[in-house]
Amino acid sequence: MVDPWKTYTVGFEDMVNKMQTMVKNSHSFPAYPPYNIVKVDENKYMVELALAGFSKTDIEIEVRENSLHISGKTKQDDLTQYLYKGIGNRVFKRTFELADTVEVQSSQFINGLLKIYLENIIPENKKPKKVEIQD
């Protein structure tokens, strides 16, 4: 059977394969921590993660190749006796795949929300251009 995605694209084989793998494995995506992906404007984005119970020193942000990796680990207080513990402050790892042209600009941690600001910087040679038809 012919893959319909591959019949309309040229040079996107790796990306299509990655997307198909992600869809196939989507049932195993972790639900923690909850997050938003916000489109701020045409070329700017923000990833927000709700991290109640974490501090800045508990969180690590790393960009490797075309992936944004965010991980967190809190220090457990074994002396505290909880009657009910509804705030999840467990270890987490979250990865977001980035396009070649997307760069991480900055991050903030405010009131339990980690905000990571991204920008899609399109080089001049990748911007749309008209192609004239030769005689």
Closest by Cα among 87, 89, 49 to 73? 89
135 or 89, higher pLDDT: 135
Q: Is residue 98 part of a domain?
A: yes
Cα 106 → chain centroid: 14
36 or 75, higher pLDDT: 36
Using CA atoms, how far residue 14 sits from 10, 11, 20, in Å, is: 11, 8, 10
Section 16-33 average pLDDT = 69
Which pLDDT belongs to residue 102? 93
**Mean pLDDT, the chain, whole residue set:** 85
Task: Give how many domains the chain has, as a whole number.
Answer: 1
Q: Is residue 72 part of a domain?
A: yes
Distance from C-alpha of 133 to C-alpha of 38, rounded to nearest angstrom:
40
- Its domain, for residue 100, covers 30-76+84-126
Q: Is residue 8 part of a domain?
A: no
Q: What CATH number is attached to the domain comprising 113?
A: 2.60.40.790
Q: Is residue 99 part of a domain?
A: yes
Stated pTM of the model = 0.73
Q: Is residue 67 part of a domain?
A: yes
Q: Is residue 10 part of a domain?
A: no
Q: Is the pLDDT of residue 19 over 90?
A: no
